[in-house]
Amino acid sequence: MTLHDTSYWKNKATQLSLQDKAYIDGKFVPAQDGGVLAVIDPSTGATLAQVADCQQADVDLAVAAARRAYESGVWSGLHPRERGQRLLALSALIQRDIEEFALLETLNVGKPITESLMFDLPEAIKTYAWYGEAIDKIYDEIAPTGSNALATVTREPLGVIAAVVPWNYPLLMASWKIAPALVSGNCVVVKPSELTPLSLLKLSSLMDEAGIPAGVFNVVPGTGPVAGQALGLHNDVDCLTFTGSTATGKRFMEYSGQSNLKRVWLECGGKSPHIVFDDCPDLDKAAMAAAVGITSNQGEVCIAGSRLYVQEGIYDDFMKRVSRCVQNIRPGDPLDPNTVMGAIVDERQMNKVLSYIESGKNEGATLRLGGQRVRAETGGYYIEPTIFDCPSDQLSIVNEEIFGPVLSARRFNTEEEVIACANDSIYGLGAGLWTANLGRAHRVSRKLRAGLVWVNCFFDSDITVPFGGVKQSGSGRDKSLHALDKYTDLKTSWFNLDASN
């Protein structure tokens, strides 16, 4: 993959033609009332596009199109291998347009172009290809009955799936839902975050070319309280799959109860503990992982290692190493391929992060590094990586999800103590630990209440393994074959083989 230079990307940005309409029933259409929402570039604060602001009526059209497509069998009736082939075609088309997609993600989210090109896009491309390749290799079940009966347990698509997704990885988070939902025969309506609809609208423009029929895939850009709520409350949506904050996730459970009891799958917030024992096999590697764990994607990562626990004997030395790594990570122009940390997604999120930094200072934490808005002269929303030494866990910066580059570090003495601290959270998404002791590695990873545990690494993952959390971090899992469980129902068919029939 060629990274090019800043001028290449700036020039390419001037030539982009942005899709700004909703995608419903195979066509790009404005919102019926003509309403639009401004979408900005967080690296400058400039407006990038005015995108259709879908209302209830637009959501109704999209759900009706998805329902028609589903009932017609034009998609669900295809041989699984054929659906798989079309996902493979979609994957190849994203690969063909990878630079344009990467540029859209960078311009709209503020993330470094290198990250978009080397992570978001390759992972999205892999996601469509992996589910496309997998679907014709999965068998259903025959139950162990007596010889006078045959009982089959088959997986069936649910029908119309609505996906409501966040702004931090707009294409990737959606793809983790779209690919398994589509490949198992469902039709899909996606609502991107109001902040970042551009890459999913670009994805829509490839559907026809990939052979995905009209109505099978729809995108309704709009706000959460309007378009998101309309999907959550819709009586003709069979399943609502969500990634976003815990507060919004709770609303979707309420919407389901108030409407048709649709399935709700939630991938919500996190506050991942990152634990370094004094027998850590490689302190420099762990320090770099701690630095990357809080600065990657500007800290706007659900699994960010935002609570660092370091054993007493190595605390001072280890924190010096982390600080050295973090000092080298400076926010910069997202279109510069050397930039590793870009802009915060918008002014509101930047102010939220800055107010957490103030609360850390006021609540008794010691600011070790960072803490300031930088590059304000660009008009963009940049915050330098920030580290606090914390005297206890009773601080908002330790307990609440900040979703920015703010690390809280604390000392601990014993294994039991750190397990209790790590688990003392409403969240249970990711957790990491570093130790050379195999027994401790197994013991602690079993006791950590989290959906993902990393041992002697952090963030490592693959499409082959499930991704998701416990407690208020959510339910269900994205990625891996287990994601198919969310978008299919089991049907039992009992065939009486009695000779008298």
Residues catalogued as catalytic: 267, 302
The three-state secondary structure class of 308 is strand
User: Are the C-beta atoms of 134 and 91 separated by less than 8 Å?
Assistant: no
- Options 135-143, 159-167, 279-287, 314-322: segment touching ligand NAD (CB under 6 A): 159-167
In the complex, the smallest distance separating the C-beta of residue 366 from ligand NAD, rounded to whole angstroms, is 26
- Options 37-45, 139-147, 164-172, 379-387: segment touching ligand NAD (CB under 6 A): 164-172
For residue 87, state whether it binds ligand NAD (rule: CB under 6 A): no
Within 297-356, the residues that bind ligand NAD by CB under 6 A are 302
- Reference 451, options 433, 434, 473; nearest CA is 473
- Tell me which of 99, 194, 333, 415 binds ligand NAD, using CB under 6 A: 194
Strand partners, 381: none
Residues with Cβ within 8 Å of residue 455, at least 6 apart in sequence? 432, 433, 434, 435, 441, 445
What is the residue-wise DSSP string for 366-407?
EEEE---EE-GGGTS-EE--EEEE-S-S-SHHHHS---SSEE
User: What's the CA gap between 302 and 306, in Å, rounded?
Assistant: 10
Choice between 248 and 435, CB closer to ligand NAD? 248
In the complex, the smallest distance separating the C-beta of residue 288 from ligand NAD, rounded to whole angstroms, is 23
In the complex, the smallest distance separating the C-beta of residue 448 from ligand NAD, rounded to whole angstroms, is 16
Residues with Cβ within 8 Å of residue 66, at least 6 apart in sequence? 160, 187, 188, 189, 215, 216, 218
In the complex, the smallest distance separating the C-beta of residue 349 from ligand NAD, rounded to whole angstroms, is 7
Pairing between β-strand 382-383 and β-strand 373-374 as defined by DSSP bridges: antiparallel
In the complex, the smallest distance separating the C-beta of residue 391 from ligand NAD, rounded to whole angstroms, is 26
**Number of other residues whose CB lies within 10 A of the CB of residue 236:** 15
- Tell me which of 91, 168, 199, 475 binds ligand NAD, using CB under 6 A: 168
Sheet containing 263-267: order of strands: 27-29, 22-24, 217-219, 187-191, 160-164, 239-243, 263-267
Within 394-413, the residues that bind ligand NAD by CB under 6 A are 401, 403
Residue 376 CA, distance from chain mean position: 28
In the complex, the smallest distance separating the C-beta of residue 253 from ligand NAD, rounded to whole angstroms, is 11
In the complex, the smallest distance separating the C-beta of residue 64 from ligand NAD, rounded to whole angstroms, is 20
- Tell me which of 243, 472, 475, 480 binds ligand NAD, using CB under 6 A: 243
For residue 170, state whether it binds ligand NAD (rule: CB under 6 A): no
310, amino acid identity: V
- Tell me which of 56, 95, 205, 245 binds ligand NAD, using CB under 6 A: 245
For residue 193, state whether it binds ligand NAD (rule: CB under 6 A): yes
Phi, psi of 491 (to 5 degrees): -115, 130
For residue 224, state whether it binds ligand NAD (rule: CB under 6 A): yes
Task: Give just the sign of the alpha carbon dihedral 106, 218, 249, 255.
Answer: positive
- Options 182-190, 209-217, 220-228, 356-364: segment touching ligand NAD (CB under 6 A): 220-228
In the complex, the smallest distance separating the C-beta of residue 173 from ligand NAD, rounded to whole angstroms, is 5
Within 251-290, the residues that bind ligand NAD by CB under 6 A are 251, 267-270
If binding means CB under 6 A, how many residues of this protein chain bind ligand NAD? 31
- Tell me which of 134, 474, 475, 488 binds ligand NAD, using CB under 6 A: 474
User: Are the C-beta atoms of 19 and 28 separated by less than 8 Å?
Assistant: yes
The three-state secondary structure class of 410 is strand
Choice between 168 and 386, CB closer to ligand NAD? 168
In the complex, the smallest distance separating the C-beta of residue 117 from ligand NAD, rounded to whole angstroms, is 20
Choice between 114 and 297, CB closer to ligand NAD? 297
Choice between 105 and 267, CB closer to ligand NAD? 267
For residue 432, state whether it binds ligand NAD (rule: CB under 6 A): no
Query: Residue 148 is encoded by which pair of tokens?
Result: 């006078």
Strand partners, 157: 488
- Tell me which of 429, 433, 444, 450 binds ligand NAD, using CB under 6 A: 429
For residue 225, state whether it binds ligand NAD (rule: CB under 6 A): yes
Choice between 244 and 337, CB closer to ligand NAD? 244
In the complex, the smallest distance separating the C-beta of residue 80 from ligand NAD, rounded to whole angstroms, is 27
The three-state secondary structure class of 270 is coil
Planar angle of CA 232, 238, 242, nearest 5 degrees: 45
Indicate the angle between helix axes 121-134 and 170-183, nearest 10 degrees: 10
- Reference 451, options 471, 435, 470; nearest CA is 470
For residue 167, state whether it binds ligand NAD (rule: CB under 6 A): yes
84, amino acid identity: G
Task: Give just the sign of the alpha carbon dihedral 245, 247, 248, 252.
Answer: positive
Query: Residue 141 is encoded by which pair of tokens?
Result: 């079940």
For residue 232, state whether it binds ligand NAD (rule: CB under 6 A): yes
Within 355-374, the residues that bind ligand NAD by CB under 6 A are none
Choice between 125 and 164, CB closer to ligand NAD? 164
User: What's the CA gap between 370 and 356, in Å, rounded?
Assistant: 13
For residue 191, state whether it binds ligand NAD (rule: CB under 6 A): yes
Residues that bind ligand NAD (CB under 6 A): 164-168, 173, 191, 193-194, 223-225, 228-229, 232, 243-245, 248, 251, 267-270, 302, 401, 403, 429, 469, 473-474
